[in-house]
Structure 1
């Protein structure tokens, strides 16, 4: 089955049309990385972490439930001895399972083969409890029948849970939702060795999305380890905007410093991890220096921001706080909508296309602040002081930022965050130049969802950006936010935003 990337008029189309058939990697078994655009992938870290939490809760709650039923004491859940015992076993179980590598996707997918190791881990956790009971001399406070029943029931529950989890992981992998979609830049011997190293790991979750290189045919072969070279760096970046990438591997020797620096700089704007194979240099570092793709050692160049559990935390923060804010501010929004309607003819809301996560176009809601026949959907001309296009009510709304309140709807919908780099209009300019023409690496701010407010806004870079210095400073603050994100930083920015709105110097 051939590799297709669906890049319009790209080298990938030419290769597919030519009938070239590529040899799938051994670990792919015919599965391609041409994942549907709408398919939401699962983070391996989240999957294994969720199973870890489930086993902790299952073992602990099962022990308490059996104690409550057998001991027949209504206060058993509050009994320090039983609470200590169940907490110790639950914690010891996940710690021992972790030491036995039972939370890796390899072990989870091979659930039947990993059952003996799981039983060893469960037995070890119970042995830890028995040792603690002996040394703490609390044996008379804990029922031995309860311990025996809990051990047997827990073993059965763990085996059943592991089989169910294994089935889920395998189905997710088969459907293409649980793997790392990887693009490789560089079509040399280093790439061939990298792919061979991946082939040696039969449980790898890596899927090759394409191999790219800008060198001429004489220096870069059409096929590498059975895979076609499907384009250059521009094709890779274009593909990443339409297909979700988890990882980009820069497979260039470390000695090619200038080329490596140029390529890595271009790729740094993508919302994906960027790594290079450890084989790229003969230097050998401490094992802690390396990350791994499957079993292959890698050197990290750039990390995907706000990933895995951080992503979950931010998603929950946006949904909970955004929904509560929308409910609390609904009366004010109704009053603003009435004022807009009474002030000038036309719709209450103004919808505008802006750049969102990974350069995707999103439709952002605002209260209309301009006359209908003067609205500028692309923001080709920034609003200036005393702009005649702005209505009387609109001038107040823009000064106070009340026109931004409908963007809470975007937050609840999921295409905006409460806090993040402000989304810019498509044709917004500074000193007559598009923003990406002014600032190198401008699109790196799109590695995360844009937000209603952000680090730049509370630090004085709110409002008009009509000079190169203003947009440069805003981007610097946006990138600082991305690199230093935390839930506490988001909360701090939200709390500071009302005070930042008092500065209306450049808000027109």
Structure 2
């Protein structure tokens, strides 16, 4: 009942309230992005959704317009050279993710769920298949996001996404929601240009 109906209702109501309350923040960020660098305010990118169907995710643009298309940040040789001044702040605070409220309202995403993979992230998609984590809507944040984020290796991230799928419930979503607030305030797991950094640090 929760997974099929109540979760979607909560997502819609909370995202609508969030869009209204955060509209002043949206306006300020739009002006800042436009004044900081040339290019559009919003950035959209092809991602995997529920049951591996495609949709376009929305973000505030944090990188220059000459950044290679459809390439995960960790695969760029020097990601810092492409990130704008405003983008560094937006990515560190996760404010670049705010436009995904639109994706939630459209029913393409949930507030809590596995982060949507890029269409060409075959390794992550394959690992998530093992845990049926591709069978649910991707989320604005999720269990993996508060347990390492960029620091996690693909295998660990996929397993955490599978754990969420297996134990999905209202209380688990509440735990992820408030855990996300703590992680964002502490900037936990944010590693520009890196994935699996936790393992790399342990091996040094």
In structure 2, how many angstroms separate the alpha carbons of the residues matched to 1:385 and 1:400? 21
CA contact (8 A) 2:49 2:108 kept: yes
* Cα displacement (A) at 1:436: 3.9
After TM superposition, the score normalised by the length of structure 2 is 0.85
- Aligned with 2:20: secondary structure? helix
* Cα displacement (A) at 1:445: 1.2
Unaligned runs of 5+ in 2: 193-204
Distance 1:345 1:312, change over 3 A: same
* Cα displacement (A) at 1:415: 0.3
1:445 matched to 2:133? The reply is yes
* Cα displacement (A) at 1:344: 0.6
1:458 matched to 2:151? The reply is no
Distance 1:379 1:442, change over 3 A: farther
Give 1:507's match in structure 2, choosing from 165, 179, 191: 191
Q: Choose between structure 1 and 2 for higher RCO, CA contacts under 8 A separated by at least 6 residues.
A: 2
Highest Rg: 1 or 2? 1
Distance 1:436 1:442, change over 3 A: farther
* Cα displacement (A) at 1:478: 0.6
After TM superposition, the score normalised by the length of structure 1 is 0.36
1:337 matched to 2:54? The reply is no
* Cα displacement (A) at 1:457: 0.7
Q: Aligned Cα RMSD in Å?
A: 2.2
CA contact (8 A) 2:104 2:110 kept: yes
> Partner residue of 2:17?
324
CA deviation string 1:426-484 (max 9, x = no partner): 2237xxxx3245x3735721111000000111112x1366xxxx111111111111111
CA contact (8 A) 1:378 1:426 kept: no
* Cα displacement (A) at 1:396: 1.4
> Partner residue of 1:120?
none
Give 1:355's match in structure 2, choosing from 41, 44, 48: 48
> Partner residue of 2:198?
none
CA deviation string 1:230-255 (max 9, x = no partner): xxxxxxxxxxxxxxxxxxxxxxxxxx
Distance 1:457 1:368, change over 3 A: same
Unaligned runs of 5+ in 1: 1-307
Distance 1:456 1:348, change over 3 A: same
In structure 2, how many angstroms separate the alpha carbons of the residues matched to 1:453 and 1:359? 18
In structure 2, how many angstroms separate the alpha carbons of the residues matched to 1:443 and 1:384? 31
In structure 2, how many angstroms separate the alpha carbons of the residues matched to 1:369 and 1:404? 10
